[in-house]
Amino acid sequence: MLGSFSLGVDEDTEGALRAKLRELRVRRPRVHVGIPRARAVVKALQLPPVADADVRRMVGFELDRHLPFPASEAIFDFHVLDHAPGQPARVLLVATERRVFERIAQLLRGAGGTLRLVDVTIHGLAVLAARDASPQAARIAVGLEEADAELAVVRHGRPILSRAFPLPADLSQRARTLREELQRSLGSLGPEDRAAVADVTVTGRGPLPDTDWAGLPVHPAVTLPPGLGDVPDDPAFLPALAMALRRPGRGGLRTNLIPEGLRPRPFPWPVAVTAGLAAAALLVGLAIPGVTAIRAERRLAALNRAIGRLAPEVQEAEQLARAAERARREVETLRGFEARQIRALPVLRELTELLPSDVWLTNLSIDAKGTELAGFAAAAAQLIPLLEGSPTFERVEFTSPVTKGRDREQFRLKAGWEQPPGVSPARATPTRAPARSAEAR
């Protein structure tokens, strides 16, 4: 919403401003203030070659030579007009008395406003008027009032000269004064800047005199930015709009007559971007373990499903492996018997033929030295002569006392090999053969 209002200068200006802002429902206004050119000192300064960081310090050293009031009572700012490495710097100094700023700050403090910008009104108006001009062209902006006028020359988006001068009431004298002041202003410009001046834009509430304007084309209106077509028909509105459109610290015009410690700090976009990137990197770093864990869980779940599908086949394979292992052990056992020339089946067959039917065997072990028997029998003592009479066993004896039960005797005995089972007499050892012959005799 665009609008304007005027307040009279009286003792209750703060209250009137506060009431007007409340009426417009502006709670915490951010205020740009334009001061008259007559209340400021604007001057182009030539500085010795200095580094960029030392320009402000050098301007501070030069203040005493160019201000009509003490430098300690001054608030100043500047923008660079020309500065090449190793060359003298040319800047435009803008300064005002500290009491001017303090009065403005007091007025806005009472109205609840936040001060963001204080600058010369004609500078902002000239920059607004020159916004549609060629970058290389220069434009003169003139603000006419009833008793005075302000003039500013703008090039490359920033003022390079400004002046304020009184105007007589007579129209013919006003025309002559305007022409003379305009020619004086053009004469104070450098040759390049003077040649770049293309036209004059005239605004204000004062009457427009008939003058030649130093031979330059005249525009009685300012082309506004897009979206600002519905502008109130008030001559005082255009300067206020020009100051409202100023962006502190942006564009070619960067002067701001607020003390350094009180200026609003621009949003630190580089710091914010760096912090955002750091936060994003931190989040990514924190998310990596979570993503890795999720992927691992998904992979584990997929492996569990695959294992579940293969479980029956795995169980079958394990059963086959166990059966093969049992068969391997049995084969190795049999091969061990064969290697030791022991045949278990003939031993079992002979024991079956020798032992009475009332004998129960609970344990039978066979090795290269002989065999051990354990079990139950009706008469355990009869087993020894039965086994001794066999051509296979010898040295038959009980290994533990016979235990008698109600109708059976529990026994444990062992016997050595007289002739290993399954070995033919021809393969008998030579040492055994004479012994058998002696016994036969």
Distance between CA atoms of residues 335 and 339, nearest Å: 6
Whether 99 contacts 257, CB under 8 Å: no
Whether 118 contacts 256, CB under 8 Å: yes
pLDDT value at residue 233:
67
In one-letter notation, the amino acid at residue 233 is: D
Q: Tens digit of pLDDT for each residue in 276-304?
A: 999 999 988 888 888 888 999 999 999 98
Q: Tens digit of pLDDT for each residue in 163-191?
A: 999 999 888 899 999 999 999 999 999 89
**Is the pLDDT at 153 greater than 60, yes or no?**
yes
Count of C-beta atoms within a 10 Å radius of residue 369: 11
**Is the pLDDT at 52 greater than 80, yes or no?**
no
Q: Does domain 344-440 have CATH number 1.10.720?
A: no
pLDDT value at residue 159:
93
pLDDT value at residue 34:
92
**What is the pTM for the complete model shown?**
0.61
SS3 per residue for 383-435: HHHHHHCCCCEEEEEECCCCEECCCCEEEEEEEEECCCCCCCHHHCCCCHHHH
Q: Tens digit of pLDDT for each residue in 127-149?
A: 998 888 787 899 999 999 989 99
**Is the pLDDT at 342 greater than 90, yes or no?**
no
pLDDT value at residue 417:
87
pLDDT value at residue 426:
41
pLDDT value at residue 1:
60
- Which of 6-20, 22-36, 77-91 is predicted with the least confidence, judged by mean pLDDT? 6-20
Average pLDDT of span 75-86? 86
In one-letter notation, the amino acid at residue 299 is: R
Average pLDDT of span 333-343? 66
pLDDT value at residue 9:
64
Q: How confident is the model at residue 81 (pLDDT cuts 50, 70, 90)?
A: confident
Q: Tens digit of pLDDT for each residue in 378-400?
A: 988 899 999 988 888 899 999 99
Residues in the chain: 441
Distance between CA atoms of residues 142 and 162, nearest Å: 10
pLDDT value at residue 238:
87
The overall average pLDDT reported for the chain is 84
**Is the pLDDT at 262 greater than 90, yes or no?**
no
The better pLDDT of the pair 228, 82 is held by 82
Residue 401, phi-psi category: left (phi > 0), alpha (psi -120 to 50), beta (remainder): beta
Token reading at 164: 């304020």
Token reading at 134: 């060629």
Distance between CA atoms of residues 125 and 245, nearest Å: 10
pLDDT value at residue 76:
94
pLDDT value at residue 436:
30
Token reading at 386: 């039965």
Edge-to-edge strand list for the sheet holding 89-97:
41-47, 89-97, 74-82
Distance between CA atoms of residues 53 and 89, nearest Å: 12
Q: How confident is the model at residue 124 (pLDDT cuts 50, 70, 90)?
A: very high
Token reading at 256: 């701001």
Q: Tens digit of pLDDT for each residue in 410-432?
A: 999 999 988 665 554 444 443 33
Whether 62 contacts 44, CB under 8 Å: no
pLDDT value at residue 350:
87
